[in-house]
Structure 1
Amino acid sequence: MPYPIHRFQAMCRLTPEEERRLLTLGDAEVVRRRGETFQHEGDVLSGFHLHLRGWISSSILLRSGHRLIQKIHLPGDMLGTPSMVLPKAADTLTAITEAVTAFVPYERIGQLFTEAPRLAALFTVAVQMERLTLMDVLAVTRNASAREQLARLLVDLHARLSPIGLVQDDSFHLPLTQEVMGDLLGLTAVHVNRTIRAMEADGLVSREGHRIRLLNLAALRDISPLPPRRPQFEPVWLPAPL
């Protein structure tokens, strides 16, 4: 299956050669079993991973022994890029569902800066968008109510799943347990469950198994404490394609 390149297409009009480079950037596909940890915090690394299919979590272990989930990754993401500036892996990557990844050696990214500088610039923009996401999460964690945090999470998942065709009638598969959502939002599983039930009672969402429907997307966006981020399309500083 090809690497989803919608994130890069949202930044500029890609040339056929740029699309080819993106689609062939990774090595052979690797299937990750549900629950498999394929990168451990502290591992010595030689590259990062493209995310092709499934759901994957990024987490770190605090000194207290508690796990902190930093990000839920979806197809089109690049996994482990923060570790590029460190001698060892900054986070642990675990498949929440069966997932597919493709490994990218660091040297291959380095070649883009000389052979395809515009694509390298887009890679830099993509990493900065990840930084913005983490800034937003930091801004709302413990400074927003559980209802606001959960609304932000659901709106974010809806926005990220839509470009890859995984949203139908504002509903999508949500394979996250309440414990995982709690770790991600800094809440207890009980608090997550209570908040979701309240949203259901208010007609904001409905659930059927692991599928959730956003019944009032506009209201959820209003409840979310932060507006969505959108990359600037073809900024003036972007290098011209070769």
Structure 2
Amino acid sequence: MSAKRPLILVTNDDGITAPGIRTLIEVMNELGDVVVVAPDSPQSGMGHAITVNETLYVDRVTVDKSAPQKEFSCSGTPADCVKLAVNEILKGKPDLCVSGINHGSNSSINVIYSGTMSAAVEAGTQGIPSIGFSLLDYSLEANFEPVRKFVKQIAAECLDKSMPRGVVLNVNFPKLPEAEIKGIKVCRQANAHWVENFDKRVNPLGREYYWLTGEFVNEDGGEDTDEWALRNGFVSVVPVQFDLTAHHAIKDINTWEL
């Protein structure tokens, strides 16, 4: 690969053949030399899970014979893919890691469940500038064409500028035609949550089982949040930190009799 072009690692959680990652690969090929390490099957909702009690397999694959990137499918989670890419496949750190484009939202509280964002966070913990991209369309037939220019713009800026230490970007796109997307807003994560329910059923053998369902509730009226931006036709960019320390609480907890 050319030393003059940045090395870009591409991964996701929907699987290596998902339309979202194929679009992301095409855009990243315009910016640098691409290596893909992605799950061999869907891994949505896996969060930051890693494989510790099972073997991991990685296979060199060719999904698009006309494209220049090297591709590897992995039997593990999105976080596994990044770990294997850095330690075994690339034998070093890429200049950028991009994850997605996810089929569905990873805004607000969804970020903590997201395999897409966990791959970006895993790269970030290793000092790699990283971005997770998601489109608010869960369909496998989702149209990613309207967001291509925004993906390229944000990734190019990330390559050109220095990412703040300890930060990765969580980027979400509204499901709109390109002409109706109003622009990009840097936001905070909205204070929202899921009110969960379990649909209880019985299988033909008489054993009970459950389907997780729920309703997304946004209790945040702020106009500086990702949920507001997306509802109002903007691309949301949230800087996410992986230091989970609640620094503001340390003083109060130090007053406890511990």
Question: What range describes the TM-score normalised by the shorter chain of this pair?
Answer: under 0.3
Q: Which has the higher strand share?
A: 2
Larger Rg, first or second structure (1 or 2): 2
Q: Which has the higher helix share?
A: 1
- Tell me: higher relative CO, structure 1 or 2? Use CA pairs within 8 A at least 6 residues apart: 1
Q: TM-score, normalised by structure 2?
A: 0.25
